[in-house]
């Protein structure tokens, strides 16, 4: 009996060893590791250098607790010639503060010398481009802003309403980073006027923006931005906004040097109220400077 039991156990052990020889444990471990890697979500970072493409918003958001102080300048038109020092004699600026409340939500406010405007906005990221278990081919955000024109009333003797000074913008921002050097973004845009100048003007104007970035070096890239006003939803005498420039990143600063035909730096002014054109030399040189500050302390 003991001999039969020993033979049975020996046979079972030999069968198990033969089965074990057919199993590649290293291969199993490697497959499990690959599965874990595939299941991990890798979010795309650095689609654009800053939260602004040139005039308009990019898909980027500030991190939670990060304050971004932005100073934007637009000089005069280059076709002003030497008398105007090719536009350098004239300048307008916007000073703004943007803040990241969460990684997905940021808010901001600003003041422009152009038409003495005040503006405020919020931007919320709905989707983030990613790879892995839940791959997402693009990033998607919504942006809404309110603008106030504080110029003196043209006719102070008539009854004027505060709401007549208000304008609104609504945007969808959809972007994809195709490689480390190339990113594209489209921006369907609606501008709402509480009060229009002429009875024939529409209160709601629509445009489609497109922009992109091509990296030249690790810290320098070429940016372009164009807003096409849809036929039938365009103010008379206006042109489409086109801007071309460079992003230069230096530590905590990002310098944006660019040329544009839009003197305004709010959605209302550069999307629907650009009057100059590039072929006529109505081109303005400008720059944006961004400086980041960490306001919220990290928890230990």
Per-residue pLDDT of the chain (300 residues; tens, 9 = 90+): 555 545 554 555 455 444 444 445 455 455 555 555 556 888 888 899 889 999 999 999 999 999 999 999 998 887 777 777 767 778 889 999 999 999 999 999 999 999 899 999 999 999 999 988 778 899 999 999 999 998 887 777 888 888 889 999 999 999 999 998 899 999 999 999 998 877 778 899 999 999 999 999 888 999 999 999 999 898 888 999 999 999 988 766 778 999 999 999 999 999 999 998 999 889 999 999 888 888 876 554
Tokens at residue 176, please?
């994809």
Query: What pTM did the predictor assign?
Result: 0.81
Strands (E), the chain: 42-43, 66-77, 91-100, 105-112, 117-127, 130-131, 139-149, 166-177, 182-193, 204-215, 220-229, 241-250, 253-260, 284-294
Tokens at residue 258, please?
């660019």
Contact 31, 255 (CB under 8 A): no
With 0-12 / 13-18 / 19 or more C-beta atoms within 10 angstroms meaning exposed / middle / buried, residue 22 is exposed
pLDDT at position 2 is: 54
pLDDT at position 166 is: 94
Residue of 286, 201, 292 whose CA lies nearest to 249: 292
SS3 89: coil
Cα–chain-centroid distance for residue 162? 31
- The alpha carbon dihedral of 276, 278, 280, 282 has a sign of positive
Homologous superfamily of 40-294: monomeric porin ompg (2.40.160.40)
Domain spans, the chain: 2-37, 40-294
């Amino acid at each position: 009996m003991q001999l039969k039991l020993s033979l049975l156990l020996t046979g079972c052990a030999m069968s198990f060893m033969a089965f074990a020889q057919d199993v590649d444990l290293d291969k199993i471990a490697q497959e499990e590791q690959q599965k874990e890697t595939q299941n991990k979500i890798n979010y795309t970072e650095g689609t654009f250098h800053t939260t602004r493409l040139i005039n308009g918003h990019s898909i980027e958001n500030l991190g939670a607790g990060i304050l971004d102080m932005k100073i934007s300048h637009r000089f005069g038109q280059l076709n002003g010639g030497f008398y105007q020092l090719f536009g350098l004699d004239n300048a307008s600026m916007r000073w703004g503060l943007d803040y990241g409340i969460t990684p997905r939500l940021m808010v901001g406010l600003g003041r422009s010398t152009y038409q003495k405007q005040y503006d405020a906005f919020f931007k919320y990221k709905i989707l983030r481009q990613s790879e892995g278990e839940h791959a997402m081919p693009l990033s998607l955000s919504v942006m809404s802003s309110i603008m106030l024109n504080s110029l003196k009333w043209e006719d102070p003797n008539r009854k004027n309403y505060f709401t007549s000074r208000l304008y609104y913008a609504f945007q969808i921002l959809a972007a994809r980073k195709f490689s480390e050097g190339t990113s594209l973004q489209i921006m369907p845009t609606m501008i709402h006027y509480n009060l229009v100048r002429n009875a024939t003007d529409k209160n709601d104007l629509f445009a489609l923006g497109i922009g992109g970035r091509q990296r030249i070096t690790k810290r320098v890239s070429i940016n372009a931005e164009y807003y096409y006003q849809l036929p039938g939803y365009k103010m008379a005498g206006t042109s489409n906004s086109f801007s071309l420039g460079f992003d230069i990143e230096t530590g905590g600063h990002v310098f944006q040097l660019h040329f544009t035909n839009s003197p305004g730096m709010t959605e209302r002014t550069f999307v629907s109220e650009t009057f100059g054109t590039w072929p006529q030399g109505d081109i303005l040189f400008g720059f944006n400077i961004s400086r980041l500050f960490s306001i919220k302390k990290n928890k230990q």
